[in-house]
Amino acid sequence: MSFLRIEGLTKEFDGYKAVNHVSLDIAKGEIFALLGSSGCGKSTLLRMLAGFETPTAGRIVLDGRDLAGLPPYERPINMMFQSYALFPHLTVWDNIAFGLKRDGLPRDRIAERVDAMLKLVQLGKFAKRKPHQLSGGQQQRVALARSLAKQPQLLLLDEPLGALDKKLREETQIELVNIIESVGVTCVMVTHDQEEAMTMASRIAVMSEGQFLQVGAPGDIYETPATRFVADFIGNVNLMDGTVVEDQPDHVVVECADCRHFVGHGITGTPGMAVTVALRPEKIHLTRQRPADEFNSAPGRIKELSYFGSFTVYHVVLASGALLKVSLANTQRHRDVEFTWGDEVWAHWSRTSHVVLTQ
Amino acid sequence: MNALLRLVAVLRRGRTYVIGTPYVWLLAFFLLPFLILVNYSVSEMETVHPRALVSIKDGVLQLSVKFANYLYIAQDDLYFKTYLASLKYATVTTLLCLVIGYPFAYFMARARSTLQPALLMLVMLPFWTSFLLRVYAWKGLLSPGGWVADVLVATGIDQLLAAAGLIAAPGKLMNTPFSLVLGMTYTYLPFMILPLFGNLSKMDLRLLEAAQDLGASPWVAFWKVTVPLSKAGIIAGSMLVFIPCVGEFVIPELLGGPETLMTGRVMWDEFFSNNDWPLASTLAVVMILLIIVPLAVFNKYQAEAQDRQGGRA
């Protein structure tokens, strides 16, 4: 039994389908992320949930109740807006109380609830401040408290951490998830930041051109992307075009320009079919000697290397001229085997480290 | 000596001049004339010039400050009534401009952005014609035979106005409180619309969505978010209408009647008909003081708004 059900939802703007026949089931208590680049329709979908856009077709059912025709102010849904949209003329306290006052709650109930919210986001000391007197992280917490104050059935987060700098974003991600989970509210978030989606969400929908390309847990989407687009969109990946030369239930062999891939999973395809092999940079190893396995290795020369501290990314030019990105963790302070510019190397990878994409 | 050197050092810095320019302007064109007015208002007159406030006579330093004019206008209730009338008509005009101008500015600010320059142009278009001419035109429009008068009479609105005491009798629209307030509202409406438009068009519309999301109907969101956030625009527009209206001379002269005697008119009479410059100056000084109070309020809010904006940047 799904808590939020989206059925065939479509939104057209002047003949252009911003959201194109999308269906989705979200369970109670889930944190669900809509991930996509700008213009993919994720924000339009979120705005339809909030009630700011009217669907051209399709239904939104929340807890058994069709939301069609309900204006935003009558939906049991609250949203944390991108860059927060805090009321600049109201104090933190009044910002959080705004929604409660609209419900006509008695004054002491409001005070009780606001104080509980302030405590939840640890902003008790700042109740009398105006939003502009707060830091970005504090504003973000006020926005969260405001959107949780009415105990919504569904919480919407629009780029929740987009306005914070990198360091603060990482800390806040965990804190935000902890608060949402402690409250137990079902949550749909929109983000263009894949790290944000992966760390915060229990499931992710990758969106492009108004449609879901893949829906699944972060690990599934990363390790078994369904399409080239998803593989490329989530994380770094090496994509190699080739043809299937051997198709068995438990493995396939793909012939590419620079190597023969032995992939340890079956596909629904036929020999001779054109496919793409997706290989993550961190799953590749480098050696100076030729590996024993006739499959899954390719010789090349290091053209470029970027040192990131915890890992180093090598750009290896293969015989065909194709570029292979290899990421090696710097597990020792001084590596025994240091590769550097111009080194001739062999890149190799295991039989379970890559996937074959048929579309 | 040391202080003098320091002053020279301060003056040498170029930005002092830049910052000082508005102060010099205010000093030369407001404070000095104002002090001259004050001087007139408290001096004995010789033939044409006021007598010096400080004089030495028979070896005695004399300071002569004459309060008679102030006492006079305090005692004669004509002046009190004209001030009151000025404040009343200015207040009514300001409120009318606000009631008409706010929706006007609101829909302008929410109109398609391609349409906005044209709408803005329409608001400013009347300024292309002489102000005097436009006010004069109302004389024709409101006199019997003018089409505005005809419409008002035909629809029976003149009966309502007469019943409310705003015009002398049905059909007689000119030289009444009605024609005066109409003329002032018409003239000053753009001064209300422009600051309000400037304010409302800058508003973050997501705040209204946030309000709706939290359970406020559009109407409630308007009163709880839009109006409070446009406070600076409301105050700026109101001041721009109220202040000139208090001292307005031309419109009451052309459109007003016997019962709409306003300060501007009385001042004119004292200056040019009675040639009583000290009394006229006294009236002007009191009027300026009456205006300075709302102006101070305006400045206070302006400073607060600035503070808020500065904090957000």
Residue A13 in contact with partner chain B when CB distance is under 8 A: no
Residue of A318, A88, A176, A257 lying closest to B211 (CA atoms) = A88
The verdict on a CB contact (< 8 Å) between A72 and B212 is yes
Residue A308, C-beta contacts closer than 8 angstroms, at least 6 positions apart: none
ipTM of this predicted complex? 0.84
Give chain B positions within 8 Å (CB) of A86.
210
Backbone phi, psi, residue A19, to 5° = -125, 125
Backbone phi, psi, residue A215, to 5° = -125, 130
Residue A231, C-beta contacts closer than 8 angstroms, at least 6 positions apart: A225, A237, A239, A278, A355, A357
Which regions in chain B score pLDDT beneath 70? Answer: 1, 7, 10-16, 294, 305-313
> Taking the alpha carbons of A298, A301, A307, A310 in that order, is the dihedral positive or negative?
positive
Q: What is the pLDDT of residue A336?
A: 57
**3-class SS string, B105-134:** HHHHHHCCCCCHHHHHHHHHHHHHCCHHHH
- Residue A139: closest C-alpha in chain B: B312
What is the pTM for the complete model shown?
A: 0.81
Backbone phi, psi, residue A356, to 5° = -100, 130
Q: For residues A275 and A354, is the Cβ–Cβ distance under 8 A? A: no
Question: Across the interface, which of B213, B217, B312 has its CB nearest the CB of A78?
Answer: B213
Kindly state the helix (H) or strand (E) to which residue B286 belongs, with its residue range: helix B277-312
CB atoms within 10 A of CB A57: 14
Q: What is the pLDDT of residue B310?
A: 46
CA atoms of A280 and A232, how far apart (whole Å): 10
> In this structure, what token pair is assigned to residue B153?
């009479």
- Residue A98: closest C-alpha in chain B: B214
CA atoms of B284 and B135, how far apart (whole Å): 24
Residue of B289, B252, B237, B296 lying closest to B89 (CA atoms) = B252
Residue A104 in contact with partner chain B when CB distance is under 8 A: no
CA atoms of A311 and A313, how far apart (whole Å): 7
The residues of B whose Cβ lies within 8 A of any Cβ of A are 204, 206-207, 209-217, 220, 224-225, 228-229, 231, 308, 311-312
Radius of gyration over every alpha carbon of chain B, rounded to an integer in angstroms = 25
Q: What is the pLDDT of residue B313?
A: 35
Residue of A43, A250, A325, A69 lying closest to A158 (CA atoms) = A43
Q: What is the pLDDT of residue A69?
A: 87
Q: What is the pLDDT of residue A83?
A: 87
Which regions in chain A score pLDDT beneath 70? Answer: 1, 335-337
Give chain A positions within 8 Å (CB) of B312.
88, 132
The verdict on a CB contact (< 8 Å) between A81 and B311 is no
**What is residue A226's DSSP assignment?**
S
CA atoms of B252 and A323, how far apart (whole Å): 84
CA atoms of B105 and B18, how far apart (whole Å): 34
The order of strands in the sheet holding A260-263 is: A260-263, A252-256, A238-247, A274-279, A354-357
Q: What is the pLDDT of residue B311?
A: 44
Q: What is the pLDDT of residue B312?
A: 42
Residue B174, C-beta contacts closer than 8 angstroms, at least 6 positions apart: B139, B142, B143, B255, B257
Cβ neighbourhood burial of B128 (10 Å; 0-12, 13-18, 19+): exposed
